[in-house]
Amino acid sequence: MDPYTFIKDAIITGKYEPGERLTEEFLAKESNVSRTPIREAIKQLEYEGLITPLKRGITVRSFSKEDIHQIYGLRALLESYAGSQAAQNRDDDDLNNMMDANAKYTEVINRNLQNRDMKSIYDIVKVNSVFHETVLAASKNEHLRFHLSKVVVIPLVFRSFYWYDENQLKHSLEAHQIIVRAIQNQDTERAKIAMQEHIYKGRDHVLKHYDKLKRKFRKGNEDD
């Protein structure tokens, strides 16, 4: 695994906690590489907003409640607009891609319910991201892609899914299905509202568990 992916996965899953200080030396040892590729990985992670540079080393980005409100508020604004644009501009390939993503989403949710571990949660996050990407692609708006890349903070998405129970996972899938139907029917207003509601539910779930954000998410450390 390359250093960028290794460090990013460790941040997403909570191996490196919010606020934790890390050094190039430590990360090079952890990744079993020299410090040069670590520096490149750090630049990319800083660009993505996952870490904050220090005079010596870095710190894993932490989030205040205000941060969460602002991040999800922007996501709701941008992704709901993407949904309405997708309803207006989608073609058959776009619809097929959305349906395929939802089929895979169903698979990983079912797998998670049978064996709930870090990998299954991470798989849900990845497939969920694919679905949202299909909606964005259907919008035919590259400017949205640029701005959304700045506000979709994967560690927050991961934490949201980490705390989802069976019913909440199923409701997430149902929300995806409602969004697809609205886009298929070219109902721009319904697609916009459905996506907005979907994003805000994710926000509310993160805020509900805010006090647990700084806890580690290592397997065997679940005390919810």
Write out pLDDT tens, residues 127-159.
Answer: 999 999 999 999 999 999 989 988 888 888 888
Residue of 211 and 9 predicted with greater confidence: 9
Q: If pLDDT is split at 50, 70 and 90, which confidence band does 45 have?
A: very high
Q: Does residue 51 come out as left (phi exceeding 0), alpha (psi in the -120 to 50 range) or beta?
A: beta
Are 135 and 183 in contact by the 8 Å Cβ rule? The answer is yes
Query: Which CATH architecture is the domain 3-60 placed in?
Result: Orthogonal Bundle (1.10)
The backbone torsions φ and ψ at residue 22, rounded to the nearest 5 degrees and listed phi first, read -130, 150
Strand ranges of the sheet holding 58-60, from the earlier edge strand across to the other edge? 21-22, 58-60, 51-53
**CATH T-level assignment (fold) for domain 65-212:** Four Helix Bundle (Hemerythrin (Met), subunit A) (1.20.120)
Which percentage of the chain shows pLDDT scores above 70? 94
Phi-psi bin for 57: left (phi > 0), alpha (psi -120 to 50), beta? left
Q: Where are the domains of the chain?
A: 3-60, 65-212
What are the two backbone dihedrals, phi and then psi, of residue 79, each rounded to the nearest 5 degrees?
Answer: -75, -30
Predicted model pTM? 0.84
